[in-house]
C-alpha cells in the first residue's frame, strides 16, 4: 500500500521553498555551488551552501540552536500549517517524527572544542546534547508538540531515505496516522576534512559519469515531508533497502547491493523496470560509485530510461540527500513543474568509455507522459548501505 506525501518543505543550495527550488532545479541552475576557502586547510573547495537567511530559534528553544536545527526549522516553517493541522486532527500521540542526519550539531561542537583547546574552557553556550544524533528530531518534536515515535537515523548517505522508509512502515503498521519525515545536514569542517582525507572531494564542480570526474562536492540541505495514509496527488509507492557490507567506504564494484535495493523497491511497488519513467541517480562523481551505479542501472533498466544526478546543483548533502532527492522527484510530479520537465544532468559531456552507458537527461527534457508516472531515487552509503525509493502519481 502507498503512503501519501501531503506536504513538502525544502531548503538547499538551489534556494528555499518549493517554487524557488523547482525553478532552479529544472533550469539546471548551479549558481549556488561556489568555491570557498576555510573548510579544509590549504584547499579551496566547491560547496553547496544555503545562502538564504535562516530563521532564529523559537522563543524558549535558544539552547537548541545549531545550523542543522535552523535549516530544519526553515523547512518546517514552510509547511507549519499542514503539520499543525495533522497534529490537531490525529492527536500528538498518533503523529511520529523520523529524520535522517549525519552531522546533527557537530559543526557547533567542533567550534566549541576548538575554543576549549585555545582557552582551556568550553564556551558558556556549549551543550553536549546538540551533537547527539537525535538532537534535530527532539528539537522539532518539542517545538511541534509531537509525542509519538520520535527518532533520528544515521546511516551516512542513506539516512533520510531510510527515514522515509521508516515513516512508511510506521503508517503501514498502524503505529502512526501521520509521520513528519525527512532529513537535514549542515556543512561543517569535520565532514569536509574527513572526505578530503579519503581523497574523495573535488575542488571543481563535480562531474558525475564523466571520464574527467574526480570526486564529490559537499552541500547542506533540509527536506521535510508530511506523510499520511490520506490520499494526496503524490505517493511513496515503494522502497527497497540492502546492505552488502562490501567495504567500510567503497561500494561493491559490480553494484550487487545497489541492484538488490532497486529490485526490492520495484517489487514493493509492484512495478516492472520498464514502468519507471525517470531515475534520480546517486551520482556522486567518485570513480567507484559512478562505475558500480551505471553497471547496476544498465543491467536492470531499459537503455532509454532518463537518468540524472542532481548533485552538481546542490552538492552531496549526505544525511539529507535521500530526502532532498526524493523531494526533487516530488517536485517533478507536482504543480510547481508546470512544463513536465526533468532534472537535467550537468556535466562536461565527456563519457567514460569504461562505464556502462546511461541515458543522461539534457536541460529541457520532459517526462514522456503526464499521468501514472513512476520515479525512482537512489541513495548509497558507506558500508554497502543501499536504498531505492519510488515516488509517483497516486494510484
**How confident is the model at residue 142, as a pLDDT?**
98
pLDDT tens by residue, 292-338: 999 999 999 999 999 999 999 999 999 999 999 999 999 999 999 99
Q: Characterize the bridge pairing of strands 95-100 and 150-153.
A: parallel
Longest CA–CA separation in the chain, Å:
63
Q: Which residue has the cell 545562502?
A: 51
d(CA 141, CA 150) in angstroms, rounded, equals 7
**How confident is the model at residue 309, as a pLDDT?**
98
**How confident is the model at residue 1, as a pLDDT?**
87
Active site residues: 157, 282, 316
Q: Which residue has the cell 545497489?
A: 258
* Closest of 234, 340, 343, 339 to residue 281, by C-alpha: 343
| Residue 279 near residue 310, CB atoms below 8 Å | no
Question: Within 205-306, where are the H helices?
Answer: 256-269, 287-300
**How confident is the model at residue 115, as a pLDDT?**
86
Residues 6+ apart with CB under 8 A from 111: none
* Per-position pLDDT tens, the chain of length 395: 899 999 999 999 999 999 999 999 999 999 999 999 999 999 999 999 999 999 999 999 999 999 999 999 999 999 999 999 999 999 999 999 999 999 998 898 888 888 888 888 888 888 888 888 999 999 999 999 999 999 999 999 999 999 999 999 999 999 999 999 999 999 999 999 999 998 999 999 999 999 999 999 999 999 999 999 999 999 999 999 999 887 776 778 888 999 999 999 999 999 999 999 999 999 999 999 999 999 999 999 999 999 999 999 999 999 999 999 999 999 999 999 999 999 999 999 999 999 999 999 999 999 999 899 999 999 999 888 999 999 999 99
Backbone φ and ψ of 314, nearest 5°: -130, -15
d(CA 80, CA 42) in angstroms, rounded, equals 42
The domain limits of the chain are 3-393
State the distance between the two ends of the chain, measured CA to CA, in whole angstroms: 10
CATH topology of domain 3-393: Peroxisomal Thiolase; Chain A, domain 1 (3.40.47)
**How confident is the model at residue 123, as a pLDDT?**
85
- With residue 219 as reference, give the H or E element that holds it: strand 218-219
Buried b or exposed e, range 214-247, using 16+ CB within 10 angstroms: bbbbbbbbbbbbbbbeeebebbbbbbbbbbbebe
Amino acid at each position: 500500500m502507498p503512503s501519501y506525501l501531503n506536504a513538502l518543505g525544502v531548503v538547499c543550495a538551489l534556494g528555499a521553498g518549493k517554487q524557488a527550488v523547482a525553478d532552479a532545479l529544472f533550469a539546471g541552475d548551479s549558481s549556488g555551488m561556489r568555491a570557498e576557502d576555510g573548510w579544509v586547510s590549504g584547499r579551496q573547495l566547491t560547496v553547496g551552501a544555503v545562502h538564504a537567511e535562516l530563521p532564529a530559534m523559537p522563543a524558549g528553544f535558544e539552547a537548541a540552536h545549531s545550523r542543522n536545527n535552523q535549516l530544519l526549522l526553515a523547512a518546517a516553517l514552510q509547511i507549519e500549517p499542514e503539520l499543525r493541522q495533522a497534529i490537531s486532527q490525529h492527536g500528538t500521540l498518533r503523529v511520529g517524527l523520523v529524520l535522517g542526519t549525519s552531522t546533527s550539531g557537530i559543526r557547533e561542537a567542533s567550534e566549541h572544542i576548538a575554543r576549549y583547546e585555545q582557552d582551556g574552557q568550553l564556551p558558556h553556550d556549549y551543550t553536549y546534547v546538540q551533537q547527539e544524533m537525535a538532537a534535530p528530531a527532539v528539537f522539532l518534536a518539542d517545538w511541534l508538540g509531537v509525542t509519538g515515535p520520535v527518532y533520528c537515523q544515521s546511516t551516512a548517505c542513506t539516512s533520510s531515505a531510510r527515514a522515509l522508509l521508516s515513516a512508511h512502515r510506521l503508517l503501514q503498521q498502524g503505529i502512526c496516522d501521520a509521520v513528519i519525515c525527512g532529513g537535514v545536514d549542515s556543512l561543517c569542517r569535520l565532514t569536509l576534512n574527513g572526505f578530503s582525507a579519503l581523497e574523495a572531494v573535488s575542488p571543481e564542480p563535480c562531474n558525475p559519469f564523466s571520464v574527467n570526474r574526480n570526486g564529490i562536492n559537499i552541500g547542506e540541505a533540509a527536506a521535510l515531508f508530511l506523510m499520511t495514509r490520506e490520499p494526496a496527488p503524490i505517493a511513496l509507492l515503494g522502497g527497497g533497502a540492502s546492505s552488502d557490507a562490501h567495504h567500510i567506504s567503497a561500494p561493491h564494484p559490480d553494484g550487487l547491493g545497489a541492484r538488490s535495493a532497486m529490485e526490492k523497491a520495484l517489487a514493493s511497488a509492484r512495478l516492472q523496470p520498464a514502468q519507471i519513467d525517470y531515475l534520480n541517480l546517486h551520482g556522486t562523481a567518485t570513480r567507484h560509485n559512478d562505475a558500480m551505479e551505471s553497471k547496476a542501472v544498465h543491467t536492470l533498466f531499459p537503455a532509454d530510461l532518463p537518468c540524472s544526478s542532481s548533485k552538481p546543483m546542490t552538492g552531496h548533502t549526505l544525511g539529507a540527500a535521500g530526502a532532498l532527492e526524493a523531494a526533487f522527484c516530488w517536485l517533478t510530479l507536482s504543480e510547481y513543474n508546470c512544463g513536465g520537465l526533468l532534472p537535467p544532468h550537468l556535466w562536461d559531456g565527456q563519457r567514460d568509455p569504461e562505464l556502462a552507458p546511461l541515458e543522461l537527461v539534457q536541460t529541457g527534457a520532459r517526462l514522456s507522459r503526464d499521468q501514472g508516472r513512476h520515479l525512482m531515487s537512489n541513495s548509497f552509503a558507506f558500508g554497502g548501505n543501499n536504498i531505492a525509493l519510488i515516488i509517483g502519481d497516486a494510484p
